[in-house]
Chain A
Amino acid sequence: MSTALLEVDGASKRFKLYDRARDRVADWLHLARPPRYREFWALRDVSFQVQPGESVGVVGPNGAGKSTLLKLISGVLPLTSGKVHLRGQVLSLLELGTGFNPALSGRENVAQSAALLGYDRSFAARHAETIRDFAELGSFFERPVREYSSGMFVRLAFSLFSVMQPELFVVDEALAVGDLRFAAKAVARIREMAAQGTTLLFVSHDLHLVTQLCTRALWLHGGSLQMDGPAADVTRAYRQFTVTGASRPRAVSGAAAAPESGSEAPPPRLCLGGGWYPLEAYAGEVFRWGRAGAEVVVMDALSTPRVVELDIEPGPRLPGPPVRLHATSGGGVVLAELPLDARGTCPVMVPAGPAGQRVQVRASILPSIAPGDHRQLNLRLLGAGWAGAGPPTPTASLPLIQDPEGDQDLAHATRMMHAALQGCPPAPGAPARITNVRLLNALGAPATAFRPYDGLVAEVVISADRDVQDLVTGVQVRDLFDRRVWAGRSDWQGRQPLALKAGERATVSFRTDRLILGDGWYQITARWHLYPHEMEPLQWVDGAWTFEVLPSEHPTFLGLADLGWHYEAHVWEQPATEADD
């Protein structure tokens, strides 16, 4: 038996849409054949598990099925098929406040809601003062709820929520409770609960908040699970999707556009997991050969074997012994072995099996690649129904780069950069693309480590495929929680956007003479857009360069940034008489 707190196994929810009310009656009585409803699958075959103590974010566009999923979990909606198994009680922030009776006071409502949720009388009595103080209601706590402002109402609901101790907390969307200050307090409280081991399911459009609160995230899309992985990876992939529409899953167009009629079986879906690189960057470890890998997740149950095709990008023949790639299934079964010096493609059979099969691909031995020889191993997914017309086929790539003589950190950062660029292509039809991002130190050499107050240049190379006007480049420094520490743009400080001709390249540099960041790990995000459409970036590359600010040997400050403070102490004598004031 597994120890999961929440097991969602193939959960599906179908809504029946009727044009006429009498059709519904006909279906109840089984008079019509075939049934007269049109189907709308709000959720289709979603499976995942949540372990006790995990905090899991759920992201996805409107209509992706997030609310439906929560309702299935809390038992409000019945499942059409599949299973939801929850060990313990679930409490959703969404539910709270709906039970408030406007005629009753805050205190009475607390007691009533607690009773409604199955807590005994003493629970409300014990926590009433805590709730009142957290909600900052003061004497209003004794007034009828109908006299409350909407902010006070939500504050009361959240405060009640925060003292309850169910096994699973569901926080839906509206953490925009009350004013900004209270919202921050609510977030802090949730983080505290998560730290204390409360299991959390957090649904939000605020990707930044998801990465802050959650270790893991689910990306729902068109009713199916598009990605399940570390929160930073998932939010990055999702943001990438919203920017470029890239790696758009097949299921999206089907479910979002129009409910399909009939029960035509959809082709199975695949998902490419992001591999290991971002995690390693977070841990500050050095990326080595033999650990490179990517993962293909087969999102649907397969009734017949299918083919995943591995496609090597053409390049110079590799010297030395042939390198092999292993493609293995989750059970460790080798599905294919591919000599790396072969050019072209290699099919890997995925056996028939349940949804969620994983195919891992990794390099088996160390290849000898000349320094500076950058090469991608591209994975393309093929097979009947997978590479059909329309949506792009999902791809992922393994960077094959090695520079054993060079700076391992630098080589790693470079590999990461190429992987990031590959993973974050420009929007379809965009006239230019970012081809290189790096950080240079004060000497003009690429670097991954700096000391406070060092000089630093962030360099973005943009290559124009067609003539382009009004090109504006932006660079951001983000910390490991994905917080934006700093952002700059090339059209600020009175500068004009760039114009490039087809085939031209531009190196855009952002320079600081004094890096005032505190020690820690940071990442560069590069983006560009066409003036004045700053809200529509045409390419957005997260994690383009990872760098470390080393601790200062003689620190003059601690924390995120040096705010340029000055220290003074003024010593004076006690006043002569106490009547002076």
Chain B
Amino acid sequence: MLWNIGMPLALLVVYVVVFSAVLVPSISPDVLEPGTFPLYLSVGFLPWTAFADTLLRGTQALVGNAAYLRRLPLPERVFLGQSAVASTIGMLVVLVLLWLLSLVWGRFPTLAWLAMPVVAFLWQAFAYGLTLALGALNVFFRDLTQLVTILVQIWMWSVPVVYVEQLLPDTLRSVLPFNPVYPFLTSLRMVYLQGTFPPVELWLAMAAWVALAVLVGELVLHLVQPEIRDAL
């Protein structure tokens, strides 16, 4: 468990050191409260690592458990669900870390913080929906793991996880809300940094993405399921 958070923490430190020198000086104080960049980065990057972990684990959930699937009449969902649960535990650890970090900065939890576990859970549900499809397809196309690894990296840089949103040119900023992870990210930041409850639009957006991901995931899984064990 220690090693699971060791890697993201180390990266977090690197990002904080590097971006504090390069990026932060150019940010105006009305965008980001001076001295809070480490918090801004943590609340974006740490949940992201948990999300990415869920995606990768889920993609490999069926192939990695081929030994069981070939021999035991267990439903595929057991293994997909198991990997989602495992990564959700990682997400909970991240929330605890964030809480500790904010204490260090002398900030105390507000009532709005109750929304954080809910947002984190929705984010995981969104990831689970994607892994239903990814895990199933990976059985037939084994290169998918590599592809997902690359795409997750690109995806991370397509949203303001480590950098500050306001630095983006307006054209790019205008398409950001269409990025599926954007509402999750923004909601967490809003609660964590400003202590305000996310507005209804964000809740609706999150719910919509979760529903869409689960629906598509279920559809794909349903479509290919009869052949999964033949191909394992």
Contact = CB atoms under 8 A, between A and B. Distances in A.
B224 interface: yes
B229 A98 contact: no
Interface residues of B, number: 15
Contacts of A94: 71
Contacts of B226: 78
A76 B141 contact: no
A99 B68 contact: yes
In the complex, which range does the number of interface residues on chain A fall in? 10 to 19
Contacts of B172: none
A15 B231 CA distance: 9
A300 to B, nearest CB: 25
A76 B140 contact: no
Contacts of B141: 21
Interface string B211-223: 0000000000001
Contacts of B71: 76, 92, 94-95, 98
Nearest to B227: A16
B70 interface: yes
A28 interface: yes
Given A24-B140, A99-B68, A74 B229 contact: no
Interface in A63-88: 74-78
Nearest to B224: A28
Contact of A15 (B72, B223, B230): B230
B78 to A, nearest CB: 10
B7 interface: no
B229 A78 contact: yes
Interface in B173-232: 223-224, 226-227, 229-230
A237 B141 CA distance: 44
Given A21-B140, A24-B140, A76 B70 contact: yes
A77 B68 contact: no
B68 A74 contact: no
B72 A99 contact: yes
Given A21-B140, A28-B223, A95 B230 contact: no
Interface in A93-135: 94-95, 98-99, 116
Interface in A115-160: 116
Contact of B229 (A16, A21, A77): A77
Contacts, number: 32
Contacts of A21: 140-141
Nearest to B142: A21
A95 B229 contact: no
B29 interface: no
A482 B96 CA distance: 70
Interface in B61-90: 67-73
Contacts of A76: 69-73, 229
Contacts of A92: 71
A21 B140 CA distance: 7
Given A21-B141, A24-B140, A77-B230, A98 B72 contact: yes
Contacts of B67: 98
A437 to B, nearest CB: 46
A98 B72 CA distance: 9
A321 B67 CA distance: 68
A195 to B, nearest CB: 28
A96 to B, nearest CB: 9
A24 B224 CA distance: 10
Interface string B31-72: 000000000000000000000000000000000000111111
Given A21-B141, A24-B140, A77-B229, A95 B72 contact: yes
A92 B68 CA distance: 13
A15 B67 CA distance: 19
Contacts of B73: 74-76
A99 B226 CA distance: 23
A74 B68 CA distance: 13
A72 to B, nearest CB: 10
A94 B229 CA distance: 16
Interface of B: 67-73, 140-141, 223-224, 226-227, 229-230
6 contacts: A16-B227, A76-B69, A76-B72, A95-B72, A99-B72, A116-B72
Given A98-B68, A99-B68, 6 more contacts: A15-B230, A28-B224, A74-B73, A76-B69, A76-B70, A77-B230
The 4 closest A-B pairs by CB, nearest first: A75-B73, A95-B71, A98-B71, A76-B73
